[in-house]
Amino acid sequence: MSYLEDLDNAIYLSAISIAEIMIKKSIGMLDVEFDLFDIIDDMGLLMLDFDVSSALYLGTLCLTMIALMIKIA
């Protein structure tokens, strides 16, 4: 985990990850007792947007890649 501590490394966070956190919070599967905006700002995370182009790109992925992504998440 030393790469997370190295301030020269850029760390990205996807808007989809934020959406997943908030969905889990809203249905009671995750207790989030902190302000995500503050955490993102304090850690200097760079946000990856999820837009229409990103959604359309998902249609080009092969089923094996999608299955692998689901298992990792």
What pLDDT does 57 receive? Answer: 83
H helices present in the chain, as ranges = 2-5, 15-26, 36-43, 52-57, 63-72
Phi, psi of 46 (to 5 degrees): -100, 130
Mean pLDDT for back-to-back runs of 10 residues, the chain (73 residues): 75 89 90 88 89 85 67 61
Q: Is the pTM of this model over 0.75?
A: no
What pLDDT does 63 receive? Answer: 66
Task: Output Rg (C-alpha) for the chain, integer angstroms.
Answer: 15
